[in-house]
Amino acid sequence: MTESDTARHFLRQWIEEDLAAGKNDGTVVTRFPPEPNGWIHIGHAKAVWVDFGMAKLFNGKCHLRMDDTNPSKETDEFVEQLKKDISWLGYSWDKFFYACDMFDTMWEIAEELIQRGQAYVCELSQEEWKAYRGIPQEPGKPSPYRDRTPEENLALFRKMRTGEFAEGTHCLRAKIDMSSPNIHFRDPVIYRIVNQPHYHTGDTWHCYPMYDFAHPIEDALEGVTHSMCTLEFEVHRPLYDWVIDRLAEQGRLVVRDGKTIRPQQREFSRLNLTYTVMSKRLLRQLVEEGHVDGWDDPRMPTVAGMRRRGYTAAAIRDLCERTGISKYKSLTDLALLEWCVRDDLNRISTRRMAVLNPVKLIIDNLPEEAELTAEVPNNPEDETAGKRTLHAGRELWIDRDDFMEVPIKKFFRVTVGNEVRLRGLCLFTCTHIVKDEAGNVTEIHGTYDPNSKGGNPSDGRKVKGTIHWVSAKYAKTVEVRLYDRLFAMEDPMACPSGNFLDALAPESMKTITGYVEPLLADALPGEHYQFERVGYFTPDVHASKPGAPVFNRTVTLKDSFKAK
């Protein structure tokens, strides 16, 4: 169930009204249009959720389109990664498009604009062009190139295509209204020269369409009915509609079942999260400058990073649902995402015991060769997950934090003279400890109650504390990576130095060695574990080897984070 199934937000209402009014052919076609110039992040996941979710709600279709009209940083690797991440999020597209496959048609449309006197080649420099455009409060000034003849414009436009001009010297502008209060209407640039090869079209083109021109054309040619994007495009909407009107004029709108499909755009607010940055440009910088271990570093807000860290697709969708669809600019607390992750992992993760900060515990009254067994549930939230049997001799590892020599009030765990439950195994009373020369506790000694099988005393007496343990004889050692927030500031972009890199947390990853119960040696990437009383962990997809998993901490068990 997604929010779009239940909530009555404005996008849903918009589509419902269109359907009721008999617009288009009665079908809903949406699209998710990423630029393949980086890996998608959780902000994109929100757009995926909106675009695919709304199509699903109305039994419509959603296209996946590479918005690849900008040659500089696009690659096929990014395309493949996008597909993988969107599939992992739980969505499948009805049709797949490359915008660059529409370059020829876009060109024809532009030439037809020129022929109709609706576009011209301008030679103002970018600074001049900005100065002529002016400010919204006052009318702009027309370009001296505005009244060129169509023949002149066509000849120049064709030279832009074949690479005869340097970047920045010429551009194609739509001829609209230099005094419009909407700055985007003041003869916007629709083609600019980029003398760089494109990952699919190579050196065929030396000029490329601008987003504002290309996007409505892509939507129209694909027969998209409802085009949803983020709020910053709201002021571009009149231009979007202007382009659609020109396409209608040129007879280029798709006709389905005898009905002309006229795409429309609506905008919703972006997802913003605390303690992270969410622009591909900045994420790329983190990767390229080596601040993180790749786009899928478990501390990155990318979908792949979150997956590698152990976040689930269900948790990410849950976050989208909880933050909803609105027009208000908002900042979502990362703690909410972590809450969603814990909520899902609590339901699905397999319970295991692991000791990450070990100290030895010795059951003095258990004979050398004797063993105790524990039968513990694999997931108390899911009976079908069954139970497992653990074995232990007289030596165990427990967590150092579960012992206090001088206990504070309400400390019910291991202290000299106190009885605790060793989870699923038995009751244990500490009798004395051994320290090294530096005063560190090295051994905790005590006795167990032979009549407390499974940790339940035969006389029914109450024992408050239960701690986890692993058998010293059977435990495996594993590498564990403890991740924290990548940034130490809620809004890294507000870093006083002006450089978001200065907001990087000094220690956002710590590697330790832990003792884990033997079954965990066979853990595989993609599996989710709760290390009981510790947190949620998953084997790292890159570092793990068969029989030797390396665990990433997905999230702690409780929110230990104190908001400033």
What residues are labeled active site? 35, 270, 280
DSSP-derived secondary structure letter, 41? B
C-beta closer to ligand ATP: residue 52 or 428: 52
Quote the tokens at residue 1: 């169930």
Interface stretch with ligand ATP, choices 38-46, 87-95, 402-410, 473-481 (CB under 6 A): 38-46
Residues 6+ apart with CB under 8 A from 293: none
Binding of ligand ATP at residue 64 (CB under 6 A)?
Answer: no
Query: How far is it, in rounded angstroms, from Cα 430 to Cα 434?
Result: 12
| CB of 393 vs ligand ATP, minimal distance in Å | 54
Binding of ligand ATP at residue 535 (CB under 6 A)?
Answer: no
Binding of ligand ATP at residue 46 (CB under 6 A)?
Answer: yes
Binding of ligand ATP at residue 271 (CB under 6 A)?
Answer: yes
Cα dihedral: 409, 412, 417, 423 (round 10): -170
The angle that helices 211-222 and 103-115 make with each other, rounded to 10 degrees, is 110
SS3 assignment, position 516: strand
Q: How far is CA 188 from CA 135, 154, 175, in A?
A: 14, 18, 8
Binding of ligand ATP at residue 67 (CB under 6 A)?
Answer: yes
| CB of 178 vs ligand ATP, minimal distance in Å | 28
Computed on alpha carbons and rounded to an integer, the radius of gyration of the chain in Å comes to: 31
Number of helices (H), then strands (E), belonging to the chain: the values are 13, 27
Mask for 8-37, x = binds ligand ATP (CB under 6 A): -------------------------xxx--
Interface stretch with ligand ATP, choices 1-9, 41-49, 213-221, 537-545 (CB under 6 A): 41-49
Binding of ligand ATP at residue 113 (CB under 6 A)?
Answer: no
Mask for 206-235, x = binds ligand ATP (CB under 6 A): -----------------------xx-----
Count residues binding ligand ATP (CB under 6 A): 15
Query: How far is it, in rounded angstroms, from Cα 181 to Cα 466?
Result: 69
Residues 274-303 that bind ligand ATP (CB under 6 A): 278-280
Binding of ligand ATP at residue 549 (CB under 6 A)?
Answer: no
C-beta closer to ligand ATP: residue 31 or 553: 31
Interface stretch with ligand ATP, choices 43-51, 83-91, 163-171, 255-263 (CB under 6 A): 43-51
| CB of 50 vs ligand ATP, minimal distance in Å | 7
**What is the residue whose two structure tokens read 């004889």?**
473
C-beta closer to ligand ATP: residue 214 or 467: 214
Q: Which residue is nearest to ligand ATP (CB)?
A: 43
**Contact between 40 and 82 (Cβ < 8 Å):** yes
SS3 assignment, position 10: helix
Cα dihedral: 448, 454, 455, 457 (round 10): -80
DSSP string, 325-369: --SS---B-HHHHHHHHHHHHHHHPEEE-EESSEEEEEETTS-TT
Among the listed residues 11, 24, 29, 44, the single contact to ligand ATP using CB under 6 A: 44
Which residues would be at the binding site for ligand ATP (CB under 6 A)? 33-35, 43-44, 46-47, 67, 229-230, 270-271, 278-280
